[in-house]
Structure 1
Amino acid sequence: MVAADRGNTLVSRLIHRAHAEAGWFLGAAACALVEADRVRPGTADRLTALPGLVVLPLDPVAVPAVARGRDWADAHTEWAALPVPERPDGAVVVTVRPETWRGRPVRVLDLGRGDTEGHPADPGGRTL
């Protein structure tokens, strides 16, 4: 989220796609949004104003899992990306810090070097 606020080109393209194309949306875990705003004040205001962004609340079922995590932002993001009946494949974690997600049960799109399988970081594909 901080990368988006700093003008990362690939993140900007992804945000544009979520706004411009039907069926695309970006979810932001509330705890991650709070942490991004602590790192770069004003980030939450700017990102929540985007029409293609959905803020994912910290629901009661997620609280125990997030509370056990070392980092609430990453723990909430992981929880939000896990498979659920509406998204049997889960969601993709978009990051510029892929090393943080190694060994975790989520799919990752590295906007710095490509995804964890070496595919280029092109948000234009419908594989997200």
Structure 2
Amino acid sequence: MHVVLDETAMTAAGQGNILASRLIHRAHAEPGWFLYAPTCALVEADRARPGTAEHLAALTGITVLDLDLPAVLAVAREKTWAAAHSRHAAQPTADRPGGAVIATTAPKRWAGEPVRVLDLSP
């Protein structure tokens, strides 16, 4: 299971959201569970809740995704960097042929987007 955390999910994890905490635990403890934190979303989460980026980057079950050239090109076309980088990270790759699910506490924001969503709303 491949899951991309958007900035709302990252912020929620730092505020005690039980569903976000369970995802983090699974990625740490269970084989086959992978969590990704796109850097642009990590920046926005840290702006909303200072300390979030440092905390999440320290967790062994989370892979921080760099802003490589394909991500830059995807982000450059969009209005919000966090959403664009999250959407780009959820697209199929050689490592993730089925793509990834975006975990969010704002599922309506992803309506009409070509991504699968995991609602972490309380």
Q: Is the TM-score greater than 0.5?
A: yes
* TM-score, structure 2 normalization: 0.88
Could you tell me which residue of structure 2 aligns to residue 6 of structure 1?
Answer: 15
Q: Which runs of 5+ in 2 are unaligned?
A: 1-9
2:115 paired with 1:106:
yes
- Aligned partner of 2:64: which letter? V
For residue 66 of structure 2, what is the aligned residue in structure 1?
57
Q: Which residue matches 2:32? A: 23
Counterpart of 1:67 (choices 76, 81, 86) is: 76
Gaps of 5+ in 1: 114-128
Give distance in 1, aligned partners of 2:61 and 2:76. 28
The runs of at least 4 consecutive aligned structure 1 residues that moved more than 6 Å come to: none
Q: Does 1:43 align with 2:52?
A: yes
Structure with more helix by fraction:
2
Q: Paired residue for 1:84?
A: 93
In the alignment, the residues of structure 2 paired with residue 111 and residue 61 of structure 1 have an alpha-carbon distance, to the nearest angstrom, of 28
- How many residues in Structure 1 have an aligned counterpart in Structure 2? 113
1:65: how far off?
1.4
Which amino acid is 1:34 matched to? V
Specify which structure has the bigger relative contact order, considering alpha-carbon pairs within 8 angstroms and separated by 6 or more residues: 2
Q: Which structure has the greater CA radius of gyration?
A: 1
TM-score, structure 1 length as denominator?
A: 0.85
